[in-house]
A and B are shown apart, each in its own frame.
Chain A
Amino acid sequence: MQIRCTINSRPYRFECEPEERLLDVVRRLGMLSVKKGCGEGECGTCSLFFNGKLVNSCLLLAPQMQGAEIVTLEGLQKETETIRENFAKEGAVQCGFCTPGFVMRAYDYIIHEGSKDEKRVKEALDGNICRCTGYQKIVEAIVKSMS
């Protein structure tokens, strides 16, 4: 079936199968910051904005993209600059596979909620798994990005 949507403010038109995942489609279209970690909505490595809301793109089916506005980290390079710098400086990056997902969640959290309370930040990261860092430095980088 044919889908029209916008990704990172650019119009796209493509063919897809109904059972394909949004994750696989955006990756095929070249948005490779969106990673596949679990395929069932647990780990957050595939987080992207879908009509303004951060979601797990592995859970959505390609046909649901019809008419949707999708934003991936590729489309938020400028907006996330401070966050990314702080991730690097605070040591919040190790293997890096989960990092784009965390940067997306950090950006989403900062613009919508923004409490600097570490406990709140930790709770806000309930949809992102990192296996390397133990999260501490990620939390610190997010708090620092709000100062």
Chain B
Amino acid sequence: MSLVGQSVVRVDAASKSDGTLEYTDDLDFEGLYGAVVRSTIAHGNILSITFDETFDFSDFVIVDHRDIEGRNANVMLTDDQPFLAETKVRFIGEPILLLAHRSQRMLKEALKHIDITYEPLTPVLTVQESLDCKTLLYGDDNLFKTIRTEKGEEPDYTALKSLEKHYSTPHQEQLYMETQSMIARYCDGAVRIVGSMQCPFYVESALFALTGKKIEVEQAPTGGGFGGKEDYPSLIAAYVYLLSKKAKQDVKLVYDRAEDISFTTKRHPSALHYKSHFDETGKLHALDIEITLDGGAYVTLTPVVLARAVLHAAGFYDCGYIKVDARAVATNTPPNGAFRGFGAPQVIFGIERHMDDIARCLGISPMEVRERNLPHSRSVSVTGAKIGEYTRLRTLFETTRKASGFDEKEAAGTPYKGIGMALFMHGGGFTGEGETLLASKVWLDLHDNGMVEIRIGSVEMGQGTLTALPQIVADVLALPITMIRYHLPNTAKVADSGPTVASRTVMIVGELLREAANALKEALGRYGSEAEYLDAVRAYLKSGAQSRFQAAYQKPDTVQWDEEHFYGNGYDGYSLGCYVAEVEVDPVDYRVRVSDFYAYNDVGKVVNPMMAEGQVEGGVAQGIGYALYERIAYQDGKLRSSRLSDYSVPLAADLPKLHIAFLNTDEPSKGLGELPMDGPAAAIGNALTHALDTAFDNLTITPEVVEQKCR
């Protein structure tokens, strides 16, 4: 029986549920605790740093930018972000100094005795202020990145109706349950990094810029990431490195929750402008879309978030002419970064709300408008590529529409109750030529006891990599999963299989592992029983042949991309989702309850159905939070909702039981991690618009917003 497709129990479930698995803060530690001294103003020049003379700083290790041996730049897509501010600060919370001490209490005390004075500059706190360019933060226009793409011919507008709408989406905090945590291990002048992270090789390359040396980086069991531990851990790894190097001891830095919520990256807020032209049947003829993202103080991953937003901005609808103008601006707020969905949830909210708005404008059903615009064999996407998924999308749409009883429920028109749909896609892997540039590699090592060891940089952070990837390898080799070894990665010991982001692990890395496993299988020749397998292994290794089997990413012929013109497929494969939300509004306190939810997905072959369901359930919960509960409140550049009592995420009682289905499971596996985050907010926005017959165009839809709409 094939192992792929089985709900194999997670290999790490036992050690996680009995509490014995050791996360970063649980690891043996004998050393100093680190702390970060941060800017208290949003924009300004540092004038002086004074250490209170009455306080004894002699047994503290203190680090500033002058302690950096290499470059003071966290190199991601650009190198504008310093590890430690030198003369200028650009957001409240920007790191300036690092401290370390044996006692955490003394550290707290010491922070009160450091006085930093600033020459304040006008802070740019909103997107509009940034666009006004009265204060320049970046280049000569405050724009981190612009993308413009246009496909097809403009139609004759004379006979067409048009609709122009603004939508917006806010910050969202990843809220992984384990806060950012990192340890530097000091040994004979060398420093090794161990910590909570998604991308050990990103940390390695950031430390390379910092030190000019290759530093060993090891992932510790990681308590959730959701994108929040994609690029941020590079900074905190640099901090423990610098402190450890100077102290010549181990140093640990674990953020407390308020620090984590206040200063680490969040989902980019967006302002979306959709202008559409359509005929009286609802058929789209032109879409003119403007996207503005708030990037925060530094570039970080913003350009690629923007690229993904562009590629998902028109959904997969058939439309003759599509134009997208996208830009990301600089503001004096903490840098925004990766969060599950990575630009897609924002624009899916835009396009899917807009499809319902077109239906409202014409007085027809939102199902009719979607059906009318489903792609066909000749339809092309926003980047001019054929939409090869057109039959899959239609099947998914029709199945979900029927299973959810959408049409009857929509027609019922019960007061304070509504139903809404989102039909959407998510591109798996890096955008454009990203996968080609990553050039991921995997190693499979064959041991003489027959064990096969997966040696890659992909991490487990809760999503199930440690189980799913061995399932794939064991499946090819027809071995029990217990014959496959896969440890959390250490950059000195594994192949760089790329970052654990972008729903790429099963789809891209899994495929490479399958390739390597096939090579291994071929090398061993035929075997039936496990005993025969062991004989084959012994015979093979005895011959002195290579025990390492490798595979490296090669761009499939079907994928074409022209970065300059933003033209081509965009992704190696798309997964599809069709989600239906039913909501009830309480007429007394305006609270919205999601009463029922259908999450139908097409991700090709499902490797582990139970874990896949878990991804959908968790993603939908975050999506419901994004739609209704989670609100980041800034006041003068300072975050007010830095506590969990103010940043409300859904609890068990807030969530409906989901109806989940996976379609088309004979196709190759596509990405799954992010897909379920993309649809819920749009489906809920549409359901509320239906329930109260007034448009809900801006997230977060708090009871206060509903109250306002009910006036």
Contacts and interface: CB of A to CB of B under 8 A. Distances in A.
Highest count of chain A CB atoms <10 Å: which of B16, B222, B645: B16
Given A42-B644, A97-B23, A139-B652, A84 B622 contact: no
A100 B226 CA distance: 21
Contacts of A103: 17-19
Given A37-B177, A40-B645, A123-B653, A132 B12 contact: no
Interface in A23-38: 27, 32-38
Of the candidates B7, B23, B178, the one having the most CB atoms from chain A within 10 angstroms of its own CB is B178
Interface string A29-59: 0001111111110110100000000000000
A17 B104 CA distance: 12
Interface residues of A, number: 55
Contacts, number: 175
Nearest to A74: B19
B17 A132 contact: no
A133 B655 CA distance: 11
B18 A126 contact: no
A99 B17 contact: yes
Contact of B651 (A37, A90, A97, A129): A129
Given A122-B653, A136-B655, A35 B257 contact: no
Nearest to B173: A131
Residue of B18, B175, B256, B611 contacting most chain A CB atoms (<10 Å): B18
Contact of B655 (A83, A84, A126, A134): A134
Contacts of A139: 652
Given A42-B644, A84-B14, A139-B652, A133 B614 contact: yes
B221 interface: yes
B105 A94 contact: no
Contact of A95 (B18, B223, B257): B223
A131 B177 contact: yes
B267 to A, nearest CB: 14
Given A42-B644, A91-B7, A96 B18 contact: no
Interface string B212-242: 0000000001111110000000000000000
B428 interface: no
B620 interface: yes
B461 A129 contact: no
Contact of A94 (B9, B614, B645, B653): B614
B652 A95 contact: no
A39 B653 CA distance: 22
B639 interface: no
Among the interface residues A80, A99, A100, A126, which one has the most CB atoms of the partner chain B within 10 A?
A99
Q: Binding site of A, secondary structure by majority: helix, strand, loop or mixed?
A: loop
Nearest to B609: A91
A126 B649 CA distance: 12
Interface in A113-147: 118-119, 121-123, 125-126, 128-139
Contacts of A7: none
B176 A95 contact: yes
B617 interface: yes
B13 interface: yes
Contacts of A74: 19
A45 B175 CA distance: 13
A130 B21 CA distance: 17
Given A33-B18, A97-B178, A100-B17, A134 B658 contact: yes
B649 A100 contact: no
With most chain A CB atoms within 10 A of its CB, the pick from B175, B224, B622 is: B224
Contacts of A37: 177-179, 257
Contacts of B10: 88, 91, 93
B257 A17 contact: no
Interface string A65-83: 0000000111001001001
B21 A131 contact: no
Contacts of B223: 35, 95-98
Given A40-B257, A84-B18, A91-B7, A134 B177 contact: no
Instruction: Give the bracket for the number of chain B residues in contact with chain A.
Output: 35 or more
A121 B655 CA distance: 12
Contacts of B13: 87-88, 93, 96
Contacts of B179: 36-37
B613 interface: yes
Nearest to A133: B618
B651 A136 contact: no
A147 to B, nearest CB: 18
B25 interface: yes
Contact of B12 (A96, A118, A131): A96
Contacts of A129: 177, 644, 649, 651
Contacts of B461: 95
A32 B19 contact: yes
A87 B655 CA distance: 19
Interface in B280-329: none
B653 A125 contact: yes
Given A131-B224, A132-B462, A87 B644 contact: no
A123 to B, nearest CB: 5
Contacts of B257: 37-40
Nearest to A20: B105
Contacts of A94: 224, 462-464, 614, 618
Contact of B652 (A17, A39, A125, A131): A125
Contacts of A138: 652
B17 A88 contact: yes
A89 B9 contact: yes
Contacts of A89: 9
Nearest to B660: A136
Interface in B161-189: 174-179
B564 interface: no
B586 interface: no
Interface in B428-482: 461-464
A93 B177 contact: no
B644 A45 contact: no
A95 B643 contact: no
Nearest to B647: A42
B651 A125 contact: yes
Interface of B: 7, 9-10, 12-23, 25-26, 105, 174-179, 221-226, 254, 256-257, 461-464, 610-611, 613-614, 616-622, 643-645, 649, 651-653, 655, 657-658
12 contacts: A40-B644, A84-B18, A88-B17, A95-B223, A96-B12, A100-B17, A100-B19, A103-B19, A122-B651, A125-B653, A133-B621, A136-B658
4 closest Cβ pairs, A-B complex: A33-B19, A96-B16, A95-B462, A97-B223
Interface of A: 17, 19, 27, 32-40, 42-43, 45, 72-74, 77, 80, 83-84, 87-91, 93-100, 103, 118-119, 121-123, 125-126, 128-139
